[in-house]
Amino acid sequence: MKKSLIALAVLTASGISFAQSTVTMFGVVDAAYAMGTGSLSDKTQLKNSGYNSSRFGVRGTEDLGGGLKASFWLEAGVNNDDGTASASNTNNQAVTAANAGTQGLTFNRRSTLSLEGGFGELRLGRDYTPQFWTETAFDPFGTNGVGTNIAFNKGGLTGVRASNSIGYLSPSFSGLKVWVQTYMGENASTAAAKAGDGNAVRVSYDAGPLSLAYATSSTKVSAGVNNDTSNIGASYNFGVVKLMAQSNKTKVDGAADIDGYVVGATAPLGSGMVRFALSETDKAGAKSNLTAIGYVYSLSKRTDLYATYARVTNKGGASAALNGATTGANQSSSGYDFGVKHAF
């Protein structure tokens, strides 16, 4: 409540009038000392988002009556280690020098307007993609930090988010939900490739400790080339431990398929949580296998300390490396993160 009142006072003082029932500022600041080692080079750095993604945002909701609500969500990625902001993309196509990641604040993480009711939610703007949500939900490391699933984000520029999207999120039908999304590259009618256009769907089921999900998407890359991704995940919370697993596949026309998986667990321990994961990515026999273990210690409801160690081994010509290090084909690499996260 206090955050809402402060945010509303700031926005009102700027000369802008809002009719929202609630307006809230929120965010995460996450910083980590990180090191990676490889057969060719090592790297030490202070980085952000080793546990949770650093961000700054404003969101609001207005009750329209009759069970209908209007809402907005503006969320920007923040690189708190060097003060820059994260890049966005206007059309789900190639990243240009103009959005290479050193510009001012952009609402690259989410920039949406929604109408919600008993029918579900209609969401418009830049948003997460359904295929990503399965990736992060069933990764013990939440697709953040050195322990992230080694097969994560093989879906190109729409592997995590898509601009110009129209999404529908259904209400729950006894635990079953559907998320359908289409996104546009906003090409001229004369364009042959329709690059950046795509569609995705996610079906999920949640019943107590059990969660299941399947997602699939197809994005046009260029004339005659599509990037198709699919994944399936499951988790079960036994209380003393939560087990999870996920597999994914990426198909790009003219290239070898990429298959991957992650299996792992999280478990409460003392005032924190242990995380463990094994993951693999395989492209035409070039395989990278990652083992990761970490611990998150809660100082309060908003502040955590964390440590993660990971090691990747390669074969078949693969050369994956961790935390900015480089390693030769079929060589290994290791890395660790020591960090602190604060949410507000």
Residue-wise pLDDT for 333-344, tens only, equals: 999 999 999 999
Residue-wise pLDDT for 217-236, tens only, equals: 999 999 889 999 999 999 99
Residue-wise pLDDT for 101-129, tens only, equals: 556 789 999 999 999 999 999 999 999 99
Calculate mean pLDDT across residues 58-77.
Answer: 97
Q: Write down the pLDDT at residue 103.
A: 66
Calculate mean pLDDT across residues 58-73.
Answer: 97
Q: Write down the pLDDT at residue 102.
A: 56
Distances (CA, A) of 224 to 131, 253, 315: 22, 8, 31
Residue-wise pLDDT for 177-220, tens only, equals: 999 999 999 999 888 889 999 999 999 999 999 999 999 999 99
Q: Write down the pLDDT at residue 84.
A: 87
Residue-wise pLDDT for 258-285, tens only, equals: 999 999 999 999 999 999 999 999 999 9
Q: Write down the pLDDT at residue 150.
A: 95
Minimum mean pLDDT among 44-53, 151-160, 289-298, 333-342: which range? 151-160
Calculate mean pLDDT across residues 158-175.
Answer: 96
Chain-wide mean pLDDT for the chain? 92
Tell me the pTM: 0.89
> Which structural domains are found in the chain, ordered by start?
26-91+104-343 (2.40.160.10)
Q: Which residue do the tokens 């546990």 mark?
A: 51
**Using CA atoms, how far apart are residues 64 and 170, in angstroms rounded to an integer?**
19
pLDDT-based confidence at 8, cuts 50/70/90?
very low
**Using CA atoms, how far apart are residues 31 and 310, in angstroms rounded to an integer?**
18
Q: Write down the pLDDT at residue 15.
A: 44
**Which ranges of 86-166 does DSSP label H, i.e. alpha helix?**
130-137
- Residue 200 makes CB contacts below 8 A (sequence gap 6+) with 129, 130, 131, 158, 162, 180, 181, 182, 183, 215, 216, 217, 218
Q: Write down the pLDDT at residue 96.
A: 54
Calculate mean pLDDT across residues 315-338.
Answer: 98
Q: Write down the pLDDT at residue 85.
A: 86
